[in-house]
Structure 1
């Protein structure tokens, strides 16, 4: 036995996490039983049992005379008849409901210290002065009626100026959406069909995973390191299969905080051109740097029109506004607008307030203020995490965005820690929420922007107490 668990369970969990995270790429061979047993210093029977469970779960497969291989794709939904009630539930029911769970935290624990929500918090809204623009816009009669399906023309014009990209020179290339999540839904619905392959880095934003799974897509995971998505692994995947699209958060990634290097951005764009692969760039955190500015966006480097740019005011201002935008070439923007007609339009009041906010040049000074706030809040959280080092906690200080991606010692189970802390009044997210399936893994995500500094200090002390208790 290793600890309290059978050895084969530990081997099984390790291999399972490597497969789901993309570290072991789809189609790659697994080591022979005897060789892996020697590497891990366990018996061959242990490896056989772990392989058997992985095969039963559909994560690996055997090929007679060739060995075992990674097969992390779930089978596409198929039915000989149109059993609509089964079809409607099959993909939605199988997708995790992390978004609902996350939003319900404050309903269940109204006084919780919230390190789970990824937003700027009430103090950020208060310092923005945005409510004055909402009040002023609400006095305009046309704020209560529909505006253009593609989005308020003035707001789109301001976004062209704000993005300042030569690739986006006209408001006709921009579609306003009800947050970036609707934008991603519209894009995915146009590019892919149930059963199609979608490539994404792993771990990744759980809202994208839930969307892809609910639409019946097959997710192809690509591992990451501190420079972002592993382009060498991606190239091997593209040589074997043809995904319909690639989704990435290259700047201040959610949940890891890592940023794709400039060299990898160029390599990714080169692969996109070679394989005619559309890239959906989720750039929600770009302007939230804590230190120096990040590398140029993929869209600003795009010479082929393959990059579809996605952003939102949920991170720049506040999430309940539900206004985001997609920027793409004109033909694709026109298709998105036709899709957008199905939900009619995005709220007019919010768009008018945002147009006024941008017209007055209020966004830039607002971001300067919040970046300073976030630097101070990140420093407080980092100070506590540094004191957790003797307990086996490890992390890298993010250069921007909202999150600390924290590695736990082997004996601390992430989900149990999350549940124990919730009972003590502190919420955060468990790392397996950012994988395509629940898996035993050693990470948690802590948001440092939602709570004020004093609450961060108090919440981190509670986490320390729980960790100390579990360690003992």
Structure 2
């Protein structure tokens, strides 16, 4: 291997460790000579790799004490309105992964879609919910505004559905246009441009796009199979003061991992110790494939530091665009004042949902959906097992929508993604869930969107593409 390729490989390895949070903010990097000896390369190779990382602004030298991992600054906001580039105010540019993902089916309407994170048309068809929409649409009052905070009856049903002693009143619930609007309202209330915010890494790309577009500095915290690494989090909190932590602790997107009960208690203890607000995104809680997960962080929250976020996009269908935030009364009031800027959430959908919950229809729908998803996951897993001789690795998710798949070192995930797209299969590349594009070995496959026969056909196509080997190498 040539000198240039060697320094590039080391640069990419270090860069991925930083972007994934494995090397946390403030972590010291080994001295050049020491790292060169550890890796069996020349000191000049390490010098070049470090220089690239410094130029990118993700490490910095400190006089007399070496190099350290820096907080990753957001893209700079424009100084004035530039209509040519259509950038406005403090809205900083960020990767358009959401537009890219949602545009796949527009461009390729017949694609076998393992990219979208939703339950698919087949579960909606068996839910019975469209009948509630039709009957609600016949009611004249469904075409007018309702409370800015959300339809009172729906909020009452949600208090009962969540069944948490910490959320005892509909006054603690705010209905939003999906969980993404809820996260936008929370982030805008808790932080300002330039503030530090924490998130596990990898994480839901919609949250990264939101935080970066708002000019916030995102500090990654690494994960393992038990969830967010609270030991690393405590080291971060010992020398910086972020405004909040965003986490998906249950059936995490994209890894599928669930934070253990012990980690949940440790995380809440850190939250109390450092006064750290936690934004808990619990979208996948009721989508377990076998046993139920540990209690939500909010259900264990005795300090009021946890802000709970959920959505019907995963429970029913994404186009419904109805989610909710549950928090202490003061925060709910502030969120409602902010929500006034968008007036309200669609009344028709809220009325239909209230009737659906009133009749107890959601629980049997979810029982049926979980059975379907278990069958679909088993089909996808059977193919992944056959991929193992090719160097494919994965862990079976216990709930949620996704398989987080590790590719062989020599396979380029984006080349694989592009080649599969040509063959009529889409999925998401792992670096969409990092702060920046990076060489990394993962792809995410959604097993819930397509029916079983399409999963079988799509996985066979991925297998054929993987067999091409050298054409997919880095």
Matches within 5 A, 1:17-36: 17-36=16-35
Match of 1:306 in 2: 305
**Matches of 1:159 and 1:83, distance apart in 2:** 43
1:352-378: CA deviations, max 9, x gaps? 110000000000000000000000000
**Matches of 2:73 and 2:161, distance apart in 1:** 41
Change (3 A) 1:5 1:374: farther
Matched, 1:456 2:455: yes
Residue 40 of structure 1, CA deviation: 1.6
CA contact (8 A) 1:251 1:260 kept: yes
**Matches of 2:369 and 2:320, distance apart in 1:** 17
Residue 83 of structure 1, CA deviation: 2.4
Match of 2:105 in 1: 106
Match of 2:154 in 1: 155
**Matches of 1:248 and 1:211, distance apart in 2:** 14
CA contact (8 A) 2:279 2:307 kept: yes
1:227-253: CA deviations, max 9, x gaps? 000000000101110000110000000
Match of 1:348 in 2: 347
Matched, 1:185 2:184: yes
CA contact (8 A) 2:92 2:212 kept: no
Match of 1:120 in 2: 119
Matched, 1:168 2:176: no
Matched, 1:139 2:138: yes
Match of 1:376 in 2: 375
Residue 89 of structure 1, CA deviation: 4.7
CA contact (8 A) 1:77 1:195 kept: no
CA contact (8 A) 1:76 1:218 kept: no
SS of 2:159's partner is helix
Match of 1:445 in 2: 444
**Matches of 1:42 and 1:126, distance apart in 2:** 59
Residue 271 of structure 1, CA deviation: 0.7
CA contact (8 A) 2:77 2:215 kept: no
CA contact (8 A) 2:75 2:93 kept: no
Residue 84 of structure 1, CA deviation: 3.9
Match of 2:396 in 1: 397
1:12-48: CA deviations, max 9, x gaps? 0000000001000111100111111122222221111
1:377-406: CA deviations, max 9, x gaps? 000000000000010000000000000000
Change (3 A) 1:468 1:78: closer
1:387-427: CA deviations, max 9, x gaps? 00010000000000000000000110011111111111000
Match of 2:200 in 1: 201
1:119-138: CA deviations, max 9, x gaps? 00000100101000000100
CA contact (8 A) 1:138 1:349 kept: yes
**Matches of 2:41 and 2:290, distance apart in 1:** 46
**Matches of 1:338 and 1:299, distance apart in 2:** 23
Moved over 3 A (4+): 75-79, 84-93
Match of 2:432 in 1: 433
SS of 1:123's partner is helix
Matches within 5 A, 1:137-286: 137-286=136-285
Residue 440 of structure 1, CA deviation: 0.8
Residue 91 of structure 1, CA deviation: 6.2
**Matches of 1:19 and 1:322, distance apart in 2:** 34
**Matches of 2:321 and 2:351, distance apart in 1:** 13
1:37-94: CA deviations, max 9, x gaps? 1222222211111111111111111112211111142168578xx6244994586453
CA contact (8 A) 1:172 1:330 kept: yes
Matched residues, number = 469
Structure 1 residue ranges without an equivalent (≥5): none
CA contact (8 A) 1:204 1:255 kept: yes
Q: Which moved more, 1:224-233 or 1:93-102?
A: 93-102
CA contact (8 A) 1:183 1:325 kept: yes
Matched, 1:83 2:80: yes
Change (3 A) 1:92 1:423: farther
What TM-score results when the alignment is normalised by the length of structure 2?
0.97
What TM-score results when the alignment is normalised by the length of structure 1?
0.97
1:267-297: CA deviations, max 9, x gaps? 1101111111110000000000001100000
CA contact (8 A) 1:19 1:72 kept: no
- RMSD over equivalenced CA pairs, Å: 1.6
**Matches of 1:151 and 1:75, distance apart in 2:** 33
SS of 1:111's partner is coil
1:318-341: CA deviations, max 9, x gaps? 000000000000010000000000
